[in-house]
Amino acid sequence: MKRAIKTASAILLALAMTTPAFAAPTDTDTTTDTPIATPTAAPSTSTRFTDINSEEFAWAKSYINDMAGKGFISGYEDNTFRPDNDVTRLEALSLFARAMGSNDSANTELLEIAHDKFDSVIKEYGLKWGTDEIAYLMYKGALKKTDLDTYLKDDEKDTPMKRYEAAIIITKAMGGEEKALSELGVVLDYTDAREVPSNAIQYVSYATDAGIMEGMGEGLFSPNTAVKRSQMAVMLSRTVDKTNYTFEKNKITAVDTENKTITATNSKGKETQYTYTDSTVIKSLGDEIQASRLVSGVEAVFVKSGNTLVSVDTVSSEPDRTITG
């Protein structure tokens, strides 16, 4: 269809047809006083923080070192992690954005598209850092404008994130919101279940069933308690392990809608065939489309969770061929 339109236009109008490319600048702001979430060079896996060796933090130590080793979180200049410090809402959002792949090299162009689409909204909140992560979460549908008002407006961004709020973000980061909200009549098995806000019950249930969050002892969930750095490291590590996301940037060479397969090649010419499902989210330059509208010759980021194709995002709009007449 695309080729036919171009050909007809060339014959009838005798015009050259080209496709412009658009890109938005990426955010480079960083800060040094929020080390848990701001971009840092990944420390070695042998990282050891001096204040997590006590029995008090034995339950979190391996998770903290795991996330530090993978570059998701960092400590302070004095080699401490400060596990009992609160995590702010902006820090928590940024961390889960990274768990979803915001800082993966395969998503560089996708991040530019996200900025192009959402920067006008994000700038209302006066963020000094974290715009990459927020733009990415909005692109992925994990955050909406109403969420920004809740978590980032005025001083809210620096307010400690509560445990029930973390459950909401975890569910969205794992792509489980639709499933969570489809569960009606959910009854939480916590002694303080009545303290969980009604709009968060299904999210708490999802995060609990997924094994990401647990109680705080004595059957309590403590929904309104602030999330600590040690707890965040545990939740983040479990989310990364559970989702097991991989990101591959390849060029589409063929689309078979009958067998629901997409064939693509990487920069070295290696061919990969992906099988998509009705649940696979497919976007072209940020706009959701049907697989039948994918065009050969364009680059796309393929996101898999284990063996399941989660999403396909085209990040270029070059035509399969240009006709000049």
For residue range 118-168, what is the model confidence (pLDDT) as tens digits? 999 999 999 999 999 999 999 999 999 999 999 999 999 999 999 999 999
For residue range 285-321, what is the model confidence (pLDDT) as tens digits? 999 999 999 999 999 999 999 999 999 999 987 654 5
Six token digits for residue 198: 């009604």
**What share of the chain has pLDDT > 90, as a percent?**
77
The predicted model gives 51-75 an average pLDDT of: 93
Does the predicted model carry a pTM greater than 0.85? no
Phi, psi (rounded to 5 degrees) for 74: -145, 170
pLDDT at 325: 60
> How far is it, in rounded angstroms, from Cα 215 to Cα 219?
6
Mean residue pLDDT of the chain comes to 85
Is residue 52's pLDDT more than 50? Answer: yes
> How far is it, in rounded angstroms, from Cα 54 to Cα 235?
20
For residue range 195-251, what is the model confidence (pLDDT) as tens digits? 999 999 999 999 999 999 999 989 999 999 999 999 999 999 999 999 999 999 999
Q: What are the boundaries of each domain within the chain?
A: 2-21+244-314, 55-243
Q: What single-letter DSSP state applies at residue 194?
A: G
CATH number, domain 2-21+244-314, options 3.90.78.10, 1.10.357.10, 3.40.50.300, 2.40.50.320: 2.40.50.320
Backbone φ/ψ region at 159: left (φ over 0), alpha (ψ -120 to 50), beta: beta
Closest CA to 297 of 268, 255, 257: 255
Is residue 45's pLDDT more than 60? Answer: no
> How far is it, in rounded angstroms, from Cα 166 to Cα 174?
12
For residue range 190-204, what is the model confidence (pLDDT) as tens digits? 999 999 999 999 999
Q: What are the residue ranges of helices labelled H in 70-176? A: 89-99, 108-122, 131-139, 145-151, 163-173
DSSP letters of 143-173?
Answer: --HHHHHHHTSGGGGGSBPBHHHHHHHHHHH
Q: Is the dihedral of CA 134, 73, 107, 291 positive or negative?
A: negative
The band of 8, judged by pLDDT with boundaries at 50, 70 and 90, is very low
The helix or strand, by DSSP H or E, that contains position 43, with its residue range, turns out to be none
